[in-house]
């Protein structure tokens, strides 16, 4: 042993034994060329929430959809008031391995570390890259880092801001305390501003899934809207609303984006990268596509069990769709008939909801008692618990079983689109100054959508600020249903808990029975009793993370 030790200490000291293992690429090689560095960046893009391969959306956490499977997070944790540091829901996209869900703490910081590494390494090796490449890729990574921090901010509040890849072999500290909400917001805004200066002013269809200047400004406008909302802006500082309005107006004034005339085409594979899209994740059908049709589509079609039915719209969502005259069903003059509830509803209803009597893939969906998709009030099967399935974001041209077996969904997942920007601007401007002409204009563009064949009439004139707020919130719920927006909206509006909170009151579905004459009778039935506490508006930091970092402070109530 002494001889061996002596031989070891006599070895050369020039690192000649530090050989890169076969199957690995050296650090120098990764940053030696644009092509190699792009492979590293592709891995960051792959960390975007992979929601079209997810079986449970955040809609099941919110009040737009209900999933009857008692073991799933939406029912067993979120709606049961059981969120804790030991079982933090991480949002959709959680079934893609180490990437984690949309607001997964560890997953997002893993992606942020990759962003920090990329920015550091391309700066150190700048001589290996062209000026144009450096500009574009730096802008992309600033945007991606801002996006990941956005998911953390809007789920946990202020979080540790880390801008360099940490190294546990150096003297740098590994334990960062949480920054405040405002500090984290300012950091995201700065990254968005930096990205906007570097990224091209172009539409999504020309960028192949990469962000644009519009993407960066839209993300900035979204986080500012969240910060201006009642959950955070407790004292209703109007300047915060004004700032959010101004940023969203920047996107509108770019004149790059427009509303697709046919709402149902926005999510169809044939219309991927349409002019309404601001930023999305792209998919390729067959093996590398999505599972939406299989996981989220209707269960029985033409007598065959096809999908898992995991996206079941609630009665509350259905009731928020207007009549075709533009009036809410609660308006006595709307013409709504509770025994013919699906007659004369607005066009988006028929393009978004599969109800009893709706056509689908050559079949007729029948959720009535005795029907092929009879409402399952006991959660004994995959069949809808609410009496509804989702049509929106589900491609009718794709069979559910093929989707499950071969990931045949080629439609892209849209993170941001122009209609959301219009509604975000309208909301912020209405809160800042009231329902001025620009607020009416933005909301009416969404309601009308296609001037040649309007979806809805324009808003009634003379609305108060409060009335306009109600219209905007209803429009936002309907227009953005099943796009993973509602969970963030109801929390930032602070309407989740309390005696009238939308996640603290019973959930309803529609039971339909035929009488002896064959006449159908419609009855709203309670399907679940929700429990949600004030503290649940913010996610707890996972206990495993708290155990590792003594500088972190847990969110209140956990």
N residues, the chain: 558
Task: Pull the structure tokens for residue 206.
Answer: 């020309």
Query: Which stretches of the chain score pLDDT less than 70?
Result: 1-23, 94-99, 170-172
Q: What is residue 287's predicted lDDT score, i.e. its pLDDT?
A: 76
pLDDT in tens, 55-86: 899 999 999 999 888 889 999 999 999 999 99
Task: Pull the structure tokens for residue 295.
Answer: 């996981």
pLDDT in tens, 84-95: 999 999 999 865
Q: What is residue 10's predicted lDDT score, i.e. its pLDDT?
A: 47
Which letter does DSSP use for residue 554 in this model?
A: P
Query: How far is residue 205 from each of residues 252, 260, 279, measured CA to CA in Å?
Result: 18, 13, 10
CB 57 within 8 A of CB 482: yes
DSSP labels, 97-156: GGG--TT-HHHHHHHHHHHHHHHHHHHHTGGGS-HHHHHHHHHHHHHHHHHHHHHHHHHH
Query: How far is residue 52 from each of residues 33, 55, 278, 289, 477, measured CA to CA in Å?
Result: 32, 8, 17, 8, 20
CB 301 within 8 A of CB 361: yes
Residues 6+ apart with CB under 8 A from 206: none
Return the closest-CA partner of residue 177 out of 162, 163, 187: 162
Q: What is the CA angle 260-264-266, rounded to 5?
A: 50
Say which residue the tokens 């990574």 belong to.
141
Query: How far is residue 536 from each of residues 81, 483, 494, measured CA to CA in Å?
Result: 8, 21, 11
Residues 6+ apart with CB under 8 A from 64: 313, 314, 317, 477, 481, 482, 486
Q: What is the CA angle 88-94-528, rounded to 5?
A: 60
Q: What is residue 3's predicted lDDT score, i.e. its pLDDT?
A: 47
Helices 418-433, 213-228: crossing angle, 10 deg rounding: 40
CB 279 within 8 A of CB 416: yes
| Three-state SS annotation for 361-388 | CCEECCCCCCCCCCCCCCCCCCCCCCCC
Return the closest-CA partner of residue 393 out of 273, 507, 482: 482
DSSP, collapsed to helix, strand or coil, labels residue 428 as helix
Task: Pull the structure tokens for residue 527.
Answer: 């399907």
Domain ranges of the chain: 28-54+88-255+538-548
Q: What is residue 174's predicted lDDT score, i.e. its pLDDT?
A: 84
Kind of pairing between the strands at 413-417 and 506-514: unpaired
DSSP, collapsed to helix, strand or coil, labels residue 285 as coil
Pick the CATH number of 28-54+88-255+538-548 from 3.30.565.10, 1.25.40.390, 3.40.50.720, 3.40.50.12780: 1.25.40.390
Rounded Cα gap, residues 53 and 135, in angstroms:
32
Task: Pull the structure tokens for residue 178.
Answer: 């949480």
């Amino acid at each position: 042993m002494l001889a061996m030790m002596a031989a070891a200490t006599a070895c050369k000291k020039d690192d000649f034994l530090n050989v890169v293992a076969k199957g690995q690429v050296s650090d120098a090689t990764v940053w030696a060329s644009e092509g190699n560095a792009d492979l590293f960046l592709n891995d960051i893009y792959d960390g975007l929430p992979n929601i079209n391969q997810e079986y449970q959306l955040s809609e099941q956490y919110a009040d737009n959809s209900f999933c009857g499977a008692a073991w799933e997070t939406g029912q067993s944790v979120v709606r049961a008031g059981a969120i804790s540091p030991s079982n933090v829901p991480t949002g959709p996209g959680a079934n893609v391995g180490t990437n984690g869900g949309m607001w997964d703490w560890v997953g997002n910081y893993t992606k942020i570390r990759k962003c920090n590494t990329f920015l550091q390494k391309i700066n150190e090796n700048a001589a290996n890259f062209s000026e144009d490449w450096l500009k574009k890729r730096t802008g992309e990574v600033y945007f991606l880092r801002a996006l990941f921090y956005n998911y953390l901010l809007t789920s946990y509040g202020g979080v540790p801001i880390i801008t360099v890849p940490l190294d546990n072999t150096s003297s740098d500290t590994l334990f960062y305390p949480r920054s405040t909400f405002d500090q984290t917001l300012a950091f995201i805004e700065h990254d968005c501003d930096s990205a906007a200066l570097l990224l091209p002013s172009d539409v999504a269809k020309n960028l192949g899934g990469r962000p644009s200047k519009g993407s960066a400004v839209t993300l900035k406008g979204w986080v500012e809207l969240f910060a201006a909302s009642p959950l955070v802006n407790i004292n209703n500082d109007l300047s915060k609303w004004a700032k959010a309005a101004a940023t969203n107006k920047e996107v509108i004034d770019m004149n790059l984006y427009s509303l697709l005339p046919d709402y149902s085409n926005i999510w169809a594979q044939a219309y991927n990268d349409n002019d309404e899209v601001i930023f999305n994740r792209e998919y390729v059908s067959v093996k590398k596509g999505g599972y939406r049709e299989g996981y989220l589509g209707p269960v029985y079609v033409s007598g065959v069990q096809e999908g898992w039915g995991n996206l079941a719209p609630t009665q509350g969502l259905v009731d928020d769709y207007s009549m075709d005259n533009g009036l809410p069903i609660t308006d006595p003059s709307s013409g709504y008939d509770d025994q013919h509830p699906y007659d004369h509803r607005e066009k988006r209803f028929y393009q978004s909801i599969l109800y009893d009597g709706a056509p689908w893939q050559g079949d007729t969906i029948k959720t009535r008692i005795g029907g092929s998709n009879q409402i399952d009030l006991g959660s004994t099967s995959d069949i809808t618990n609410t009496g509804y399935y989702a049509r929106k974001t589900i491609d009718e041209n794709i069979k559910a079983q093929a989707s499950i077996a071969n990931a045949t969904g080629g439609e892209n997942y849209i993170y941001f689109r122009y209609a959301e920007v219009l509604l975000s601007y309208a909301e912020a401007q209405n809160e800042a100054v009231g329902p001025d002409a620009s607020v009416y204009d933005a909301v009416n563009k969404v309601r009308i959508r296609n001037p040649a064949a309007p979806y809805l009439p324009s808003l009634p004139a003379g609305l108060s600020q409060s009335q306009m707020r109600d219209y905007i919130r209803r429009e936002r719920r309907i227009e953005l249903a099943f796009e993973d927006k509602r969970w963030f909206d109801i929390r930032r509006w602070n309407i989740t808990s309390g005696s009238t909170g939308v996640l603290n009151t019973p959930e309803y579905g529609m039971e339909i029975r035929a009488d002896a004459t064959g006449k159908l009778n419609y009855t709203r039935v309670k399907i679940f009793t929700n429990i949600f506490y004030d503290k649940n508006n913010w996610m707890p930091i996972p206990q495993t993370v708290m155990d590792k970092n003594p500088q972190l402070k847990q969110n209140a109530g956990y």
